[in-house]
Structure 1
């Protein structure tokens, strides 16, 4: 079976490093699928799940990625992100608390017409929802 290396790195360190047969991520222009021997490419990612089909265990890993850059070169798919969490590492209670805080902040800022701050709160909300969604794929 053809395979390639996948690694996800954040400022805190390596979050993911395995062999895979497929990666699916959400780029700014839509979903992108990466297979072995993919042409070199660099694309910006949105806040969303990255799905990695592992070779060694014949299973799919889910990682919550909060934006970043995906690069493919020489059968290596690298993702550099501000933050990323594997489904198994997500603290679901904390994610729901962050979601609630962001929703309350959006309501407060909308009432005050604070558009820039409201946009930041919307980003926080999207990150929390992404983490909650990915956490459903724990193994």
Structure 2
């Protein structure tokens, strides 16, 4: 695809609906195999995402970057549109930090109890909850450039 367009449309959708939709010069997402940087005119790609931060450098303000906590899903890039279909996602400005910290504490306690009971399945579930809470905490503290 050889075009001169320098704008990438980024949208993030969850089962609850559209979470994010903006034009960007660059997108960085946490794929299972490592971070991906996507700019306009990128070759088509589909990649599974892990729990992590998605950063979007917006076109309307070159010094502005949005952060979104994404909890798994898939990224598809095609024709200057980057679509993320996520299990759940939350913009940094919408994250309730106190709620995220409470979720982290709850998950840490569940891990300790499950380890004491040698319940491997419960340890894994609690670890996922802990990773999601930590991701939300980190993204909520993200400072814009």
Fold conserved between structures, TM > 0.5? yes
Quote the Cα distance in structure 1 between the aligned partners of 2:83 and 2:143.
22
> Which residue, out of 43, 53, 70, partners 1:39?
43
**TM-score when scaled to structure 2?**
0.94
TM-score for both structures, normalised by structure 1:
0.97
Partners of 1:116 and 1:92 in 2: how far apart?
Answer: 27
1:88 partnered with 2:88: no
Q: Is the Cα contact below 8 Å between 1:24 and 1:32 reproduced in 2?
A: yes
- List runs of 5+ in structure 1 lacking aligned partners: none
1:28-67 aligned within 5 A: 28-58=32-62, 59-67=64-72
Output the CA distance in 2 between the equivalents of 1:99 and 1:119: 14
For 2:125 and 2:21, the matched residues in 1 are separated by 30
Tell me the distance in 2 between the aligned counterparts of 1:137 and 1:128.
Answer: 14
1:133 to 2:138 alignment: yes
> 1:57 deviation in Å?
1.9
Mapped to 1, the partners of 2:143 and 2:101 lie a distance apart of 16
Whole-Å separation in 2 of the counterparts to 1:71 and 1:65: 14
Q: Unpaired segments of 5 or more residues in structure 2?
A: none
How many residues align? The count is 139
Instruction: Name the Cα RMSD after superposition.
Output: 1.1
For 1:137, what is the secondary structure of its paired residue? Answer: coil
Match of 1:4 in 2: 8
Question: CA–CA distance in 2 between the matches of 1:108 and 1:138?
Answer: 35
User: Which portions of structure 1, spanning 4 or more consecutive aligned residues, are displaced by more than 3 angstroms?
Assistant: none
Report the counterpart of residue 98 of structure 1 in structure 2: 103
